[in-house]
Amino acid sequence: MPNLTIDFKRYRSAKPLVMAYARFDHPRIHKSKLLKTKVGLDLDLGNGECHAGTVEELISIVKRKGLWGFCDTITDGRNNPIIHYWISKDSQKNDIPGIMELFGHETGHAIGYTSETMAIKFGVITVFSYVTMMEEVFGKKVCTKEK
């Protein structure tokens, strides 16, 4: 079984999370210029994908989405990968399946699946398991948040 020891870093808002993400690709760019730097990342907002061209645009998209994260698998002497994440107060109350998908997806990366396709499958399986448990075992209907 793969190593499931993962560290977590929670952010209080979307901006520092996205800035930390951008730092991995652009470690030498001054903070003042980082917001205008290209990131080229597609995010699923539930109603289709949205393309972020710059760090500033990605921050705006992440705020609209209400949650986001990334996994730092480059341990550089640390023992464990780190899942960095932010979840809005609204998503904490109204989007439990979205939170489950986020952690399922990033856990896929943390245990060694670098492919986005595989990580997406981890997220989908996590949500399916959660919804099935809640509805079949506990008889509670689970709705996903409209984005």
pLDDT tens-digit series, residues 75-91: 667 678 999 999 999 99
pLDDT of 48 over the 70 cut? no
Three-state SS across 108-129? HHHCCCCCHHHHHHHHHHHHHH
Residue 111 lies in a domain: yes
pLDDT of 36 over the 60 cut? yes
Residue 143 lies in a domain: no
> Range of 49's domain?
7-137
What's the pLDDT at 54? 86
Query: In total, how many domains does the chain have?
Result: 1
Residue 112 lies in a domain: yes
Query: Quick one: which of 60, 73, 134, 58 has its CA closest to 107?
Result: 73
Distance CA 135, CA 110 (A): 29
Residue 142 lies in a domain: no
Residue 28 lies in a domain: yes
Residue 1 lies in a domain: no
Residue 49 contacts by C-beta under 8 Å, 6 or more apart in sequence?
42, 43
What is the pLDDT confidence band of residue 50, given thresholds at 50, 70 and 90? Answer: confident
Distance CA 64, CA 79 (A): 34
